[in-house]
Structure 1
Amino acid sequence: MADFQDPSIIQGQTTAALDSHLAPRPASGNCDREVLLELKGISKQFGDNQVLDNIDLTLYRGEAVAIIGPSGTGKSTILRIIAGLLSPDAGEVYVQGQRREGLIEDSPDPVGIGMVFQQAALFDSLSVEENVGFLLYQHSRLPAQQIRQIVDDVLDMVGLPGTGNRFPAELSGGMRKRVSFARAIVSNPENPQDRPALLLYDEPTAGLDPIASTVIEDLIRAIQRNNGCSSYLIVTHQDSTIRRTADRVIFLHRGRIQWQGPVTAVDETDNPFVRQFFSGRVEGPIQMVQ
């Protein structure tokens, strides 16, 4: 079934319009330089392919960090290890100072982590409301009517009011992305500490046109503002997404961090990996796989 154009894009939805639904919530305490996540010596190999090779990474509360680099260099693998969906072969993961043992279901993190997958990963047989409220229906004791209201509020936040009864196949690509955002940020009001303090975005603007990408980029920033000291890691190849959503950039190639710095430095650095990536040149240290 062909996607139809998202009506909110036709109307030129702006950051200001999103902010009308996402009123900033005051942060509790000072999040400046407070470490939220640490990866120490993370390695992962699939067969003969060394995907990650002794990666160290620190993320602070309130930070917006983009992980960039050529395809197949382990960017999405890092997200899955952080989310607790994949175990590293070596190394340690610390969330808010506590080491995670095993996968996420074995040792829940002291801080919520939400993940937005590249392909939205919605349940095709469930409505939008059932997709967004899935965890609340499965793991809370809230009455169905209250869950529906929570879901309606979150859908309104992401600019999709009145879509709860529709199914994923009826939505455009940009709308499905936003439904996955709503699912990632929904939380049980009886357990506010479970609200995600860390969001992981895996190629959230892949396959979208420039206008739809702008809507998603604005939404990512608006969600962060609304959540006080929340942080996010975003994997992307798209130049506009890097520049509009990241405060800091980490460049990954062949399983290692080759460069990192503020997003404002990507046009100033002499690092050959960064220069080749942003210029699109064939010649350089990044070799195309034939």
Structure 2
Amino acid sequence: MAEPLIELKGVSKTFGKNAVLDNADLTIHRGEALAVIGPSGTGKSTILRIIAGLLAPDAGEIYVQGQRRKGLIEDSADPIGIGMVFQQAALFDSLTVEENVGFLLYEHSNLPRRRIRELVNQKLEMVGLAGIGSRLPAELSGGMRKRVSFARAIMANPENPDGSPEVLLYDEPTAGLDPIASTVIEDLVRQLQSVQGGCSSYVMVTHQDSTIRRTADRIVFLYQGKVQWQGTVNDIDTTDHPLVRQFFSGSVEGPIQVIG
């Protein structure tokens, strides 16, 4: 098998007295569409932030394309680009859509403003939002804000040919959206993996059944700080694993401890 694109070995993370990740292992291969699922509060968003290099583990090792990462993302550039789409879109409310999407280039490139606007418009077209660059985030629906955050995540500096994100990390991209808006986002996630200027691989944290089934090829189930089960989307309906059965049935009876 080809070398993993990203590999986490024995990763642990504790917040106060709460051990969120406990010697967890995770492997991501090039071209994968991976969903990380499990009950709330089991470290799914934490593992995304560790993959992104925004959070350092307390123990364990992280390898990106075979190279061990030391420290956070700002300490040394990874050999691949990693972009992240946050759960609440995380747009700057006081900036226009164009300024949000082009923020990286406005702050960290020598490109003229006209060229940045062209690149922003290209990304907005890719996510189906052409012509809204002058709007503020408050003027957009929740689904539109999500798509703007997608455009920002795939923005790259043409002065740096290796800067395009090869991996996108999605933290609950359909949370809070109605079923139709969720379908739009799910289709866009798949589309961005197949178009030039998108990404080759992605990792998604989600609770929503439709999002799991429509956007993932492989699934890992995270519970009590460890990957407890792995399988394909088709395996969801055939596995006898009690954690998976309880999660997708929504039953309060089973090995998953119901809080409250």
TM-score by length of 2: 0.98
For 2:161 and 2:237, how far apart are their aligned partners in 1?
Answer: 40
**Residue 237 of structure 1 pairs with residue 207 of structure 2:** yes
Question: Residue 250 of structure 2 aligns with which residue?
Answer: 280
Opposite residue 260 of structure 1, the aligned amino acid is: Q
Contact 2:25 2:226 survives alignment (8 Å): no
Q: Give the length in aligned residue pairs.
A: 259
For 1:208 and 1:128, how far apart are their aligned partners in 2?
Answer: 20
For 2:133 and 2:3, how far apart are their aligned partners in 1?
Answer: 37
Contact 2:168 2:199 survives alignment (8 Å): no
For 2:2 and 2:123, how far apart are their aligned partners in 1?
Answer: 29
SS at the partner of 1:81?
Answer: helix
For 1:233 and 1:215, how far apart are their aligned partners in 2?
Answer: 18
Q: In structure 2, which of residues 91, 94, 97 is the aligned counterpart of residue 128 of structure 1?
A: 97
Q: Is the alpha carbon distance of 1:82 and 1:76 closer, same or farther for their aligned partners in structure 2, counting shifts above 3 Å?
A: same
For 1:252 and 1:190, how far apart are their aligned partners in 2?
Answer: 39
Shift of 1:264: 1.1
Contact 1:61 1:229 survives alignment (8 Å): no
TM-score by length of 1: 0.88
Shift of 1:34: 4.2
**Residue 91 of structure 1 pairs with residue 60 of structure 2:** yes
Q: In structure 1, which of residues 220, 232, 235 is the aligned counterpart of residue 189 of structure 2?
A: 220
Question: Residue 50 of structure 1 aligns with which residue?
Answer: 19
For 1:188 and 1:106, how far apart are their aligned partners in 2?
Answer: 19
For 2:147 and 2:24, how far apart are their aligned partners in 1?
Answer: 31
SS at the partner of 1:266?
Answer: helix
For 1:289 and 1:41, how far apart are their aligned partners in 2?
Answer: 27
Structure 2: unaligned runs, 5 residues or longer: none
Map Cα deviations across residues 116-150 of structure 1 (whole Å, 9 max, x no partner): 00000000010000000000111111111000000
SS at the partner of 1:289?
Answer: coil
Opposite residue 173 of structure 1, the aligned amino acid is: G
Structure 1: unaligned runs, 5 residues or longer: 1-31
Shift of 1:33: 3.6
SS at the partner of 1:178?
Answer: helix
Q: Is the alpha carbon distance of 1:229 and 1:151 closer, same or farther for their aligned partners in structure 2, counting shifts above 3 Å?
A: closer
Question: Residue 230 of structure 2 aligns with which residue?
Answer: 260
| Misfit runs of 4+, over 4 Å | none
Map Cα deviations across residues 191-218 of structure 1 (whole Å, 9 max, x no partner): 2211000000000000001110000000
SS at the partner of 2:105?
Answer: helix
For 1:266 and 1:74, how far apart are their aligned partners in 2?
Answer: 21
SS at the partner of 2:62?
Answer: strand
SS at the partner of 2:237?
Answer: coil
**Residue 115 of structure 1 pairs with residue 94 of structure 2:** no
Contact 1:41 1:56 survives alignment (8 Å): yes
SS at the partner of 1:287?
Answer: coil
For 2:185 and 2:125, how far apart are their aligned partners in 1?
Answer: 15
1:151-230 to 2 correspondences below 5 Å = 151-227=120-196, 230=200
For 1:156 and 1:192, how far apart are their aligned partners in 2?
Answer: 21
Over aligned residue pairs, what C-alpha RMSD do you find?
1.1
1:14-93 to 2 correspondences below 5 Å = 33-93=2-62
